[in-house]
Amino acid sequence: MIDLDREGDVWTVTLNRPDKANALTEAMLQDLIAAMQAARAARAVILTGVGRVFSAGADLDAARAGLATSPLWEELSAAVADLPGLSIAALNGTLAGGAMGMALACDIRIAPPHAKFFYPVMKLGFLPQPSDPLRMSALIGPARTKLILMGGQKIEAEEALRFGLIDRIMPADEILAHARDLTADTVAAKVALAQDIKRMCAGAS
């Protein structure tokens, strides 16, 4: 249910459970973590999904069995944030719940016009993963983060773009190709130069 395509220096990690809105199970989280750890060898990583929904978050049965509070979510977002190459979330559709973490940890987020963004963790009686509010606040500010996490708001693509939650809206059938285009300069650059620029953008020395 997690596909990994190694095409030269650009690796693509795909959520492939469209019949369940790409809802994540424990095994899928473990596979995603392994893929992201392996992808440290790549110059660029694209994260995407199959179908009209990027991910509905945790599989409901798995969430009730304890997955909602699993440390695997934080481990996954840390593995994405740790990637030395350029990371792009080529979101094929709606992004919800705990799946938000891996997209927030990417360097760039692209989404189609029909995508929606929501994180109903409080309504379900759980805390968000520790790094998610911090990364979201860094992108869109504390008040807008509370609008999503505490106000329970479902944000549509145009508003997400205005907020800075996503960086570009593209037609769904063009998103993956555009993400690949965005990796071209990074892949063509010297490895150390590209990695240094990424560190400078993060405020690291």
pTM: 0.95
What's at 53, amino acid-wise?
V
pLDDT-wise least confident of 12-16, 85-89, 127-131 = 127-131
Tens digits of residue pLDDT in 94-109? 999 999 999 999 999 9
User: 17 vs 125, which has greater pLDDT?
Assistant: 17
Block residue for tokens 């509370």: 146
Nearest-10 Cα torsion for 98, 1, 139, 70: 30
* pLDDT of residue 204 exceeding 70: no
What is the average pLDDT across 38-64?
95
Nearest 5°: CA angle at 126, between 121 and 131?
75
pLDDT attached to residue 205: 38
DSSP assignment letter at 135: H
Tens digits of residue pLDDT in 145-202? 999 999 999 999 999 999 999 999 999 999 999 999 999 999 999 999 999 999 999 8
Per-residue confidence band for 93, with pLDDT thresholds at 50, 70 and 90? very high
* pLDDT of residue 124 exceeding 90: no
pLDDT attached to residue 202: 86
Tens digits of residue pLDDT in 66-86? 898 899 999 999 999 999 999
**187 phi and psi angles, rounded to 5 deg:** -65, -35
Whole-angstrom distance, CA of residue 198 vs CA of residue 203: 9
CB-based contacts of 94, cutoff 8 Å, min separation 6 = 21, 52, 53, 54, 56, 114, 115, 116, 117
Report the percent of the chain where pLDDT is more than 90.
Answer: 91
CB-based contacts of 170, cutoff 8 Å, min separation 6 = 110, 111, 112, 178
Whole-angstrom distance, CA of residue 121 vs CA of residue 148: 10
